[in-house]
Every structure is written in C-alpha cells, then in structure tokens.
Amino acid sequence: MTDPNFKPMHVTVTPEHCLGNGGLGRFWILPGSRDRAQQIAETFLQDCEVIASPRGHDGYIGKYEAPDGTVVDIGAISTGMGAPSVDIIATEMIKLGAKVLVRVGTAGAMQKTLGIGDIVIATGAVRDEGTSRHYMPLEFPALGSAAVVTAMCSAAQHQLEAEDEELKEGAQWVYDAGPVHSKDSLMAREFKFGPYAAEHKRYMEVLENLGCLASEMEVAMLFSLAQVYGVKAGCVLAIIG
C-alpha cells in the first residue's frame, strides 16, 4: 500500500528499495534486533547494500540464491522490541511499498513438545498487547497470511527431511505451526514479577491449555497491520527457553 506522499521519520528506505521479485515486491525480513538484521544480511545476501538510519533501523537489501538456483530480492530491517515499535517500523515500511513482511525472532515455549532450538511458525497471535486495538477491535483475530504460512511450513518440512537424510542421528530440531502469544510485559506476564503474579500464571496456563505454542512480543502487531493494509505477513520463531 504505497503512499506517494508519505515521508518516513524512522527508516531511510525508499519506495525504490521495496521493488523486486517481478512485481511481487522485495521480501522483507523483520527481526527485532538490529544486530540480527545485520547478521542476516551478511550471512545470506549477495550484493548487499546498507541503508543507514540515524535511528538505528538500518536497512539491508540484496539477493538471495536458493539451493535450487532461484534468486530472490530480499531486505532486512529491525523493528525493535514490542508492539509499539513494530507499529512504527512496519507501518513506515508498508507506506513505502513493502508487500511481504516476515518476522524472524525468538520465543519461549508454551508446550512441552517444544524445546530449545525448535521452530514455531505462527498462524495467528493472541493480542495480549495494547497497540493493535487502536487499529481493530479485540474480537478480530490477528492472522498470518495463508500463502506465507504455507510457504514457511513447506520450507521447514523440506529442510527437516534434508537433515534427516544427511545426518546419521537425524535432524536435531522439530517445527510446529499454530497460534502464539504476543504480550506487552516480559517481566510481569512472562516472568511473573509484580503484585499480579498469580493472575499472570493462571492466564498463561489457560493459553497453554488452549494450544498456544509460544510467547513473544511483536507478531500480533505485525499481523494486525498486514490485515489493515492488505499486505502479506508471516512469522517464524526459534525457541530459546
């Protein structure tokens, strides 16, 4: 949803940087950390160009060559932590012309079947944060784009099967797809600090019993913005605890 009159205040990406992939637009990877954005670019992108930002949200654009030889136009930029920061960065990127945005981050497991190093692909998110309600009512779900979710599940399955064949002991990780939890407070909601510890514990138990896979702090906002502006969004999370 390019806005030709929009002038970003936090990123220095331009509409031209968002072009690529035969009209589909450049695919943007959105980690929370600026260091992760740089690491993604240095590890995977060819002919990488750095788009420096005085706010610390440097953009990286380049090309990624898949194992089958397919070349894809990719960009990486950090959102910062939490829904309010995602609101700023993702909105600016969408206004500049980004059409496909994928959060890549970390999360805490909420199911005993998941361990450190496993992968969660978010199909939707519990909107336990305060920012997305300024865009749509709480009763409306925050959902990942079906095409992106399907593509990520296919890629994860392909990688898992490849590692099973290559390694004698098989792949050392599993993946699952399903709902995740997005929160505003890491310290209170996740770590149970403060006077409402018992209430937080019970709340998280309810989500666990309902099948929520993992807890993080950003994807509900990204999915909400994607639905509001009619762009595609996905999310893949590495379990770290």
pLDDT tens for each residue of 108-123: 999 999 999 999 999 9
* DSSP code for 168: T
Instruction: Kindly indicate whether the domain formed by 1-98 is annotated with CATH number 3.40.50.1580.
Output: yes
40: closest CA among 114, 117, 103? 103
pLDDT at 51: 98
Q: What is the mean pLDDT of residues 165-187?
A: 90
Sorted by where each begins, the domain ranges of the chain are 1-98, 106-217
pTM over 0.85? The answer is yes
Interval 190-238: pLDDT, tens: 999 999 999 999 999 999 999 999 999 999 999 999 999 999 999 999 9
- Helix (H, G, I), strand (E, B), or coil: what is residue 158? helix
Domains 1-98 and 106-217 agree in fold: yes
* Alpha carbon distance 69, 73 (integer Å): 13
Helices 83-96 and 219-229: angle between axes, nearest 10 degrees: 30
**pLDDT tens digits, 180-199:** 999 999 999 999 999 999 99
Q: Report the topology of domain 106-217.
A: Rossmann fold (3.40.50)
